[in-house]
Structure formats: structure tokens, C-alpha cells
Chain A
Amino acid sequence: NAGVTQTPKFQVLKTGQSMTLQCAQDMNHEYMSWYRQDPGMGLRLIHYSVGAGITDQGEVPNGYNVSRSTTEDFPLRLLSAAPSQTSVYFCASSSPLGQGAGNEQFFGPGTRLTVL
């Protein structure tokens, strides 16, 4: 299994450009999420999905769109890039929701985005 994969690894955009960050997992996980990580801020949840066709907003959703047409894929779209969106973006997935101590979230390797 490849686990969680993300493309691209690095990206430079100009203000106002749009782009899509790709995320895919091959573990048949129902739950997928996008985080951004900034110095001194920790990981913050952007959007998440509990299954195909279902998405919801996290803590910092403004400026981002997501869709979940399949279990495997969860792309993140930047509609009109701004310098404030310069960050490292991580996609994560976990196994079906349930009771107990919680299921491990598996993270992709990240996308480093710079917006000029």
C-alpha cells in the first residue's frame, strides 16, 4: 500500500492564481481531512470528509474548496491564492468512525506552497 499520497510536493503561485492540491489514499479509509501547518500555529483543520459525497468545514476553511467524489481522492482547491495561504498542507485519512480510543490518522508527506 502507498498509504496517503500528495502532489505536488512543492508549488509556487502568484497572488490570484488557482490550483488544486491532490490527495489520495489506498487504505479504504472513510475519513479524510486537510490541515495547514504554520510556524507557531500547529496544524489547523481546513476541511474534512466522513465519506464519499460528504464534506464539511474545519477551523480555517475560507479560500479553500473540497470535494469527495470517491473514497480514495480528496482534492483541495485554492480559488484565488493569497500570500496568507503560504503554508505546508497535509492530507490525512483514518479508518471508519467508531467508539474507543480513536483510530490513527495517517498523514501524507505534505505540499509546501508559497504564494508570492
Chain B
Amino acid sequence: RKEVEQDPGPFNVPEGATVAFNCTYSNSASQSFFWYRQDCRKEPKLLMSVYSSGNEDGRFTAQLNRASQYISLLIRDSKLSDSATYLCVVRANFGNEKLTFGTGTRLTIIP
């Protein structure tokens, strides 16, 4: 079983729609969680950290369920510029910068 699993997609979603991605992780000792965004042929960039209580950044909402070892990302009112691959990322321990990446979910917003 992969340490971090995501549905690879692709998700093809009309502009303005709401889309949700899910991610599961296998290491119950994992401490930190992130969503990164990667545009085609570019480097990954941090989209947002995921906190236990859930957090929101504009149109983006991230949720964490430690009991189910499940992370989600919700994008509301999707824009053409949201088209990218979204990477679920987990860090095992505080004080350890090593990250484990999911394979990514590809999103295409259709005009």
C-alpha cells in the first residue's frame, strides 16, 4: 500500500463548479499535512497547510480526519487558473522535514 494515496483523475470540471479531492495516508504517526499545486512542467508550490480543525483560504478549504487518516481539499467557484495537478503531502514527525508525496490529482477546468 502506498504511504499517500490519491485518485489520479483527471477531473474535468466546468468553470464555476465545486470540486473535491481526497487523499488517504497510511502512517498513523503522521503529524503535518499539506496540499501542493503543480502546474504542467513546473515545480510544486505550497497551496496550503492542513490543520486538525480544518482551514480555509479564499475559495479553498482543507479538512483533516485523523481517525480515518483522510485529507480533503475543496475548491469552490472554480476558475480556469485552477487547472493543475494537486499533490497531497504528509510529514511524519515534527522536527523532520522529510515529506511523502501522493502521485497527484489532475484537474482541468473547462470554460
Q: Interface on A for B, CB 8 Å cutoff?
A: 31, 33, 35, 40-45, 48, 50, 58, 90, 94, 97-105, 107-110
Q: Are B43 and A42 in contact (CB under 8 A)?
A: no
Contact B94 A100 (CB under 8 A): yes
Query: Known contacts being A42-B103, A90-B43, A102-B32, is A97 close to B97, with CB within 8 Å?
Result: yes
A60 and B101 CA atoms in complex are apart in Å by 14
Count contacts on B: residues with CB < 8 A to the other chain. Answer: 24
In the complex, what residues of A have CB within 8 A of residue B44's CB?
Answer: 43, 90, 107
State in angstroms the CA–CA spacing of A102 and B98 once bound together: 10
In the complex, per-residue mask of B75-98: 1 if CB is within 8 Å of any chain A CB, else 0 = 000000000000100010011111
Complex-state Cα separation, A42 to B99, whole angstroms:
12
